[in-house]
Amino acid sequence: MSAAKRHITSLRDEYAEMTRQRIVAAFVETLEDDAADDISMAAVAKRAKVAERTIYRHFKTRAELFAAAGEWIEDNVFSYIPFTSPDELPEIFRKLCKRFDRHPHLARAIAMTRAGRRVRAGFRRHLIDQHHKAMAPLVQHLPAKEVRQAEALASYLNNVLAWNAMREDFGMSSAEIADAIEWALTTLLKDVRRRDAAAGSGKTGKSPRKRTTTRETTGVV
């Protein structure tokens, strides 16, 4: 391929990527503005200033667009914060509350609408896996049922759903919500450690139970 053809191909690829990103950004803006359960591709196309068929050239299905929007939101708006210990969760949630405050309509849409739930499905699975790994050292001796309960509670508390419920149902500020979540998480983790220590002391000499995977124990996002 000649240098001229390579240059043209490069420009086409660059333009295609710019169009793709413009479509994703338009979808997120529509979700934030309308908070609708079902966002029409016509509305997204109008906001992105492209033909509706152009959307389907870049995203073969709505699911592909929703997944791309989830990645865009995670990278550009709320930003995933990695952690290795559940003790880090209260401070992480406090930071997330500040980000939710900067985009309250988008945060609510992600929490409450059908479209929003589909958008956040990917990064929720990521977070659930991260909670599973972080909780593992604390629940080495607990029965599977209690492990599932502990992981589910920690995951739910570190969640935009908790922020939205406390904000809308109780009129709490993000600072108040963060304080409440810290209280709940600290209490939960203290009790988990107490239970695990008690279970461990009662199982001395026994083979450790088989740990179940996140996919086996967690069925909701």
Tell me the pLDDT of the chain (221 aa) as tens digits. 566 555 456 677 788 889 999 999 999 988 887 656 678 889 999 999 999 999 999 998 888 998 899 888 888 888 778 888 999 999 999 999 999 999 999 999 888 888 888 888 888 888 899 999 999 999 999 999 999 999 999 999 999 999 999 999 999 999 999 999 999 999 999 999 999 999 999 754 444 455 554 444 333 33
Buried b (16+ CB within 10 A) or exposed e, 40-77: ebebbbebbebeeebbeebbeebeebbbbbbebbbeeb
Question: Is residue 17 assigned to a domain?
Answer: no
Does residue 7 lie in a domain region? no
Q: From the CA atom positions of the chain, what is the Rg in Å?
A: 22
Within-domain flag for 32: no
Residue 145 lies in a domain: yes
In a domain, 205, yes or no: yes
Q: How many domains does the chain have?
A: 1
End-to-end CA distance of the chain: 47
Q: How far is CA 38 from CA 16, 118, 175, 180, in A?
A: 26, 11, 32, 33
Q: What is the CATH number of the domain that holds 165?
A: 1.10.357
Q: Domain residues for 77? A: 63-217
| Residue at 14 is within a domain | no
Question: Could you say which DSSP state residue 87 is in?
Answer: G
- Residue 34 included in any domain: no
Structure tokens at 159: 């969640």
Position 187 in a domain: yes
